[in-house]
Amino acid sequence: MAYWNKQLFSYCERALDGAFWAEPLNAISNGAFWLAAAAALMMWFRAARKDRRAIDLVLVALVFIIGTGSFLFHTFATRWAVLADVIPITIFMLVYLGSALKGFLGWGWLATALGLIVFFVALQQAEKIHCGDGPCLNGSMGYMPAFIVLLLVGGALKLRSHPAGHSLITAGVLFAISLAFRTIDKTVCTVTDIGLLAGPIGTHFIWHSLNAVLLYILIRAAIRYGNVEQAVRDGAGD
């Protein structure tokens, strides 16, 4: 138990404080994921009954779980809380990519499965990349495969004039911005100590806020354009 309860001081806001509320902005900003999940759920219920796919409801639930897991990590800041944080994120990426390859691009089950395997291996390898004594880009390197895939799938959809293409490319651009804020969290730590809270605030909470918007955009595209027939009915554009 000592191993799993060991605290981690990974972000600027926490510094060396092990208290539950040592990362107030990082913790509270996870509410954005819950709001995104609620908004996506309402959109799912507003869709025509024949267009309500179970996979989209799974994605909505995963966004809520992502917010909860991240809240646990930024309050308890332990090794077990890391798992509560990263596992739902990984599952969301795999489920959404599978849904996009199958529903948006029309890939077969075998091609989709192979695509997911390649993506998962890429995620694992990216996590292992280190620069000097620590992870590159403050740990953001592990998200690079997701960023690249967003742009690749979005670009492929745009070439096909698929209406979901714009959403995925928009999400990719937003992801680039949020990754930048995640990366500079510790770099700007000293300059964000402006007396608003007990110490520096960093920029990680912005990563949460932007990603909540990003996930809503992705689920919105899945609900609206999750199958070819539905995309044709809604027409080009987003």
Q: Cβ of 206: how many Cβ atoms within 10 Å?
A: 19
pTM (predicted TM-score): 0.93
Structure tokens at 160: 């096909």
Classify 78 as helix, strand or coil. strand
**Residue 199 belongs to some domain of the structure:** yes
Q: Cβ of 175: how many Cβ atoms within 10 Å?
A: 19
Question: What is the domain range of residue 126?
Answer: 24-234
**What pLDDT, on a 0 to 100 scale, did the predictor assign at position 72?**
98
The CATH number for 63's domain is 1.20.1070
- Look at 109-123, 128-142, 147-161 and tell me which has the smallest mean pLDDT: 128-142
Number of domains in the chain: 1
Is residue 171 within 8 Å of 154, Cβ to Cβ? yes
**Residue 90 belongs to some domain of the structure:** yes
**Residue 160 belongs to some domain of the structure:** yes
Strand partners, 134: 131
Q: Write the pLDDT tens digit of every residue in 4-19.
A: 999 999 899 988 788 9
**Residue 11 belongs to some domain of the structure:** no
